[in-house]
Amino acid sequence: MLRAVNVGSKSIADYHSIVSRDLMAEIRALAQPLEGKRVLHINATSFGGGVAEILYTLVPLMTDVGLHADWKVMHGKTEFFHVTKTIHNALQGSDHVLTDEERATFERYNLMNVGGLTEAYDYVIVHDAQPAAMRAHAPFEGAKWIWRCHIDLSTPNQDVLEFLLPMIEGYDLSVFHMAQYIPSENSVPEPVIMPPAIDPLAPKNMALSGDDAAYIVDQFGPDVERPLMLQVSRFDPWKDPLGVIDAYRTVKRTVPDLQLVLVGSMATDDPEGWEYFERTVDYADGDGDIYILSNLNNVGAVEVNAFQSHADVVVQKSIREGFGLTVTEGLWKGRPSVAANVGGIPLQIVDGQTGYLVSNSEECADRVTEMLLDPDAARAMARRGKQHVRHNFLTPRLLRDWLGILSRLADD
Ligand code: UDP
């Protein structure tokens, strides 16, 4: 059954010196007529991955501006998360035909979780595919249902897409990071484009001094006086940690002092994560300058922040990427960034302006080497990257966009 997530409280007023006055005024104006409206967010996990990251800030800020916002997480056992991981991969293009048993497992857990919908809401926002089928069985009338898709559906496995689309039909509106991610014309209800954002005041992103960041990094083993290349990502083939190790090995021929840190927490809905973690460790082959860390090493939000604040170059060598919040986080910390030209990354990295876009390990290695050898040029780019994030990818902008969507549906 659905479980409520305790998000504590946050105040939008705390953001006034970080974003523009106009944006703050827009938020106030949009929130006023929505006062008292009940909003429910539903997703599959409260730990690990970008969706949980966003909801920990968005939900309390919605409450702060006058709505009554809740976040509930689906209950699921490993059998369900195996199916949803398969669906997730297939929606991003991997080959798989869902068996009847997998379809039945998916439906069964969705139906079971509907039992947790005991209060009525004005808006229900369902994140990604895992809870998508709940709408069809919802017990209360009158709510507006929004399907928020966090992944790229432009080149999906058709069989799995056809399983998903009928579930989405009954929604009032759907939301995608980018126009290119919408599967095809008229396939989803009223698509709206809204890229995600990071919370500049969360422990993950709050300003850390250089000394404090180095102090934390030092405790995990790397030499803080030597250059450090970083990727923060779940251990997942789409994030290509093995490709990052290849790039590191190439750079190390020119920069022998280089160290690599791979940080990846294991999400509760990602049973494949452990397997891929082992593969990554094997691939590192005992190299003493490669540090592979996870939440098991107590790498929480502040520690991720410290690595991102301290790294000489932040990389994100994904094969596919929904948006790439880790890229946003690195840019916000003013770090030189090299990332794959996929998904939402090019919205953030304007090639040669706010960082470098690359298509393979060799290109990645070339750009990392260039940035390490010319730190002044790299820093100038990184500063522009930070401003780009300030204007486009911080939570107040996301809150404004959500309030816009809710107002629009209220008027329908
Ligand atoms: N993350 C983390 N610890 C880790 C790995 C990831 O805190 O070990 C966070 C990361 O900082 C980011 C989010 O999880 O906020 C990942 O979001 P992203 O959009 O990069 O990828 P996703 O996991 O959603 O595909």
Give tens-digit pLDDT for 282-318: 999 999 999 999 878 889 999 999 999 999 999 999 9
Smallest CA separation from ligand 1 atom 7, residue:
301
Longest dimension (CA), the chain: 64
- For residue 270, what pLDDT is reported? 67
Assess whether pLDDT exceeds 90 at residue 185: no
Q: At residue 164, does pLDDT exceed 70?
A: yes
Give yes or no on whether 3-197+394-411 and 210-392 have one common fold: yes
Do residues 263 and 293 make contact, with C-beta atoms less than 8 angstroms apart? yes
In a mutational test of the pocket of ligand 1, which residue from 181, 231, 233, 395 has the highest number of ligand atoms less than 8 Å from its CB? 233
Cα torsion for 330, 335, 341, 343, to the nearest 10°? 20
The confidence band for 187, taking pLDDT boundaries of 50, 70 and 90, is: confident
Task: Give residue 51 CA to ligand 1 midpoint distance, Å.
Answer: 9
The residue whose CA has the least distance to atom 14 of ligand 1 is 49
Q: What is the pLDDT of residue 97?
A: 87
- Percentage of the chain lying above the pLDDT 90 cut: 87
Contact indicator for 349, 327 with CB cutoff of 8 Å: yes
For the stretch 96-132, what's the b/e string if a residue is b when 16 or more beta carbons lie within 10 angstroms of its beta carbon?
Answer: eebeeebeebbeebbebbbebbeeebbbbbbbbbbbb
Pocket around ligand 1 at a 6 A CB cut-off? 49-50, 53, 204, 232-234, 263-265, 304, 322-326, 329
Per CATH, domain 210-392 is 3.30.465.10: no
User: What pLDDT, on a 0 to 100 scale, did the predictor assign at position 139?
Assistant: 85
Closest CA to ligand 1's atom 11: 326
Cα–ligand 1 centroid distance for 239 (angstroms): 10
Instruction: Indicate which residue's Cα is closest to atom 2 of ligand 1.
Output: 265
Structure confidence at residue 269 (pLDDT): 61
Rg of the chain over all Cα atoms, to the nearest angstrom: 21
Distance 353 CA to ligand 1 centre (A): 24
pLDDT number for residue 65: 98
* Residue nearest to ligand 1 atom 6, measured at CA: 233
Q: What CATH class has 3-197+394-411?
A: alpha beta
Give 207's contacts (C-beta < 8 A, 6+ positions apart).
none
What pLDDT score does 170 carry? 94
Q: What number is the average pLDDT over the span 235-251?
A: 96
CA of 223 from ligand 1 middle (Å) equals: 24
pLDDT in tens, 29-84: 999 999 999 999 999 999 877 899 899 999 999 999 999 999 999 999 999 999 99
The residue among 89 and 126 whose pLDDT is bigger is: 126
- Taking the centre of ligand 1 as the mean of its atom positions, its distance from the CA of residue 412, in whole angstroms, is 36
Distance 293 CA to ligand 1 centre (A): 14
264 contact partners, CB below 8 Å, separation of at least 6: 232, 233, 234, 235, 239, 241, 273, 277, 292, 293, 294
Q: Where are the domains of the chain?
A: 3-197+394-411, 210-392
| Averaged pLDDT, 108-115 | 96
Beta bridge partners, 192, equal 175
**Residue 1 pLDDT greater than 90, yes or no:** no
pLDDT by residue (tens digit) across 167-184?
999 999 999 999 999 998
Q: Are 5 and 72 in contact (CB under 8 A)?
A: yes
User: pLDDT digits over 245-279, tens only?
Assistant: 999 999 999 999 999 999 997 666 666 788 899 99
Query: What is the model's pLDDT at position 267?
Result: 62
CA nearest ligand 1 atom 10, residue: 326
pLDDT tens per residue across span 323-375:
999 999 999 999 999 999 999 999 999 999 999 999 999 999 999 999 999 99
| Res. 146: pLDDT tops 90 | yes
Burial class (CB in 10 A: 0-12, 13-18, 19+), 185: exposed
Residues 342, 319 contacting (CB under 8 angstroms) = yes
pLDDT digits (tens, 9 = 90+) for 192-205: 999 999 999 999 99
Ligand 1 pocket check: which of 150, 240, 325 to mutate, most ligand atoms within 8 Å of Cβ? 325
Cβ contact 48:268 at 8 Å? yes
Query: What does the pLDDT read at residue 31?
Result: 98
